[in-house]
Amino acid sequence: MEQALAPALAQRSEDHLYRHRRVLATAPGRRVTDAGGRCFTAFCSNDYLGLAKHPKVVAAFKRAAERYGVGSGASHLVSGHGREHRALEDELADFTGRARALLFCSGYMANLGTVKALVGKGDAVFEDRLNHASLLDAGLSSGARFQRFRHLDSSDLQRRLLATEARRRLIAVDGVFSMDGDIAPLPELVTLAQQHGAWLLVDDAHGFGCLGPSGGGVAEHFALAEPALPILIGTLGKAFGTAGAFVAGSEALIETLIQQARTYIYTTALPPALAAATRASLQVLRAEPWRRQWLAALIQRFRRGASTLGLSLADSATPIQPVILGDSQRTLQLAAYLEARGFLVGAIRPPTVPAGSARLRITLSAAHTEADVDGLLAALADAGGYRP
Ligand SMILES: *Cc1c(COP(=O)(O)O)cnc(C)c1O
């Protein structure tokens, strides 16, 4: 086995595509310390609202762990489904304006389980080519005819819908694209779905908490109720600051998932304390709109500063602000330079992004200060030699 695996590892390293895990000694947040004791200002976490270590969220987690223990002990359908899970599902249904919501242990599992419960052989699934890997994997392994349309390109999707003869058609997109920060053209997709009798699924992992006047994500941003957007998926590990995911939709959708989604049925339920912590985080998210407003102000500050530096930014109004360099080695060099200056950013390379589009993935959080953003901009200004 060693001999069989070694060449691919060596090649990956030579191509500047090898991935290393950094060991952190602190909670996620604007300031982190690594295991070697070095301190950084982090611009790479998805904790967009700074809730992962919010005192109310931590306190709810502790209280629930004291009361219910740590593990849920069984799957939801056996005996792992508790009152915290039920209460969180009800609150998420209310928050999204949907009839029901169903908890999953992760966004990956929610996407896989949902798509595979809804379509199979003889059906067709249409996905934006820059969708998150979990949504692409779900479509690919569903057995349905899998087609990718060009990024944000509704006319490409329309051509494909016109050509299909499949019985069931599912259109599945990210609400906010995870490596680009741009937003799916949902009003157009809703119209196409209705014209072609397709079902629309939106994975809003990065929109929930950040977009919409009360943090309801892209559905709220575009004011899309359940009939227009029947399958809405959110993850809890990003702006909610906890872990897990949910699907929100009609009674029939949720009951179908409970009966059929294998990643729901055949896994141990989320720890009840995580559900309790998420209930607290949902409360903070709803009660403190200043977090979204502050985040929006920091995004603007970063974009203004970056354009003054002549950096080419993506068309993104979200906390995800990629700086696309193209070349993997240069991306690593620039990330290393910023690290030496005390800033952590994501260096994202293929196959996470298409070949030739390696990038820094800079993410902003309501936990950042204006001085943090200005510091990062100053370091980027000094990094001239590494920049495109
Ligand atoms: C992070 C992410 C997921 C996966 O969610 P996890 O809960 O981390 O498994 C799914 N979809 C998108 C768009 C994501 O960004």
* CATH number, position 224: 3.40.640.10
**Domain end residue (candidates: 260, 287, 314):** 287
C-beta 359 within 6 A of ligand 1: no
For a ligand 1 pocket test, name from 235, 264, 274, 318 the mutation site with the most ligand atoms within 8 angstroms of its C-beta.
235
- Nearest atom (ligand 1) to Cα of 245: 7
Going by C-alpha positions, the residue among 105, 114, 158 that lies closest to residue 135 is: 114
Question: Of 266, 287, 308, which residue sits at a domain end?
Answer: 287
Catalytic pick from 45, 72, 134, 178? 178
The helix (run of H) or strand (run of E) holding residue 203 is: strand 198-203
Is residue 114 part of an annotated ligand binding site? Answer: no
C-alpha span between 113 and 257 (Å, rounded): 8
* pLDDT digit string (tens) for the chain, length 388 residues: 999 999 999 999 999 889 999 999 998 889 999 999 999 999 999 999 999 999 999 999 999 999 999 999 999 999 999 999 999 999 999 999 999 999 999 999 999 999 999 999 999 999 999 999 999 999 999 999 999 999 999 999 999 999 999 999 999 999 999 999 999 999 999 999 999 999 999 999 999 999 999 999 999 999 999 999 999 999 999 999 999 999 999 999 999 999 999 999 999 999 999 999 999 999 999 999 999 999 999 999 999 999 999 998 999 999 999 999 999 999 999 999 999 999 999 999 999 999 999 999 999 999 999 999 999 999 999 997 776 6
Say yes or no: 210 and 331 in one domain. Answer: no
- Residue carrying structure tokens 């002990």: 73
217 lines ligand 1 (CB under 6 A): no
Task: Examine residue 6 and state whether it is found in any structural domain, yes or no.
Answer: no
264 with 322, same domain: the answer is no
Same domain, 281 and 296: no
Would you call 153 helix, strand, or coil by DSSP? coil
| 1 occurs within a structural domain | no
In a domain, residue 5? The reply is no
The bridge status of strand 358-363 relative to strand 320-326 is antiparallel
Kindly state whether residue 50 falls inside one of the protein's structural domains: no
Domains held by the chain: number:
2
Do 262 and 320 belong together in one domain?
no
- Residue 92 included in any domain: yes
Q: For residue 302, what is the domain's CATH number?
A: 3.90.1150.10
Task: Please give the full DSSP string across 342-363, using - where no structure is assigned.
Answer: TEEEEEE-TTSS-TT-EEEEEE
Looking at the structure, tell me whether residues 136 and 174 fall in a common domain: yes
Q: Are residues 276 and 380 in the same domain?
A: no
- Report the half-sphere exposure of 291 (CA within 13 A, side-chain side): 26
Q: Is the CB of 95 under 6 A from ligand 1?
A: no
Do residues 206 and 174 both lie within one domain?
Answer: yes
Q: In this structure, is residue 7 part of a structural domain? A: no
Q: Is the CB of 106 under 6 A from ligand 1?
A: yes
Final residue of a structural domain among 287, 303, 333 = 287
Number of Cβ within a 10 Å radius of residue 349: 22
Same domain as 282, residue 187: yes
Q: Please check whether residues 210 and 321 belong to one and the same domain.
A: no
At 388 the pLDDT is 61
Q: Are residues 143 and 278 in the same domain?
A: yes
Give 134 Cα–ligand 1 centroid separation in angstroms.
7
Do 371 and 296 belong to one domain? yes
Same domain, 78 and 203: yes
> In terms of residue numbers, what domain contains 181?
55-287
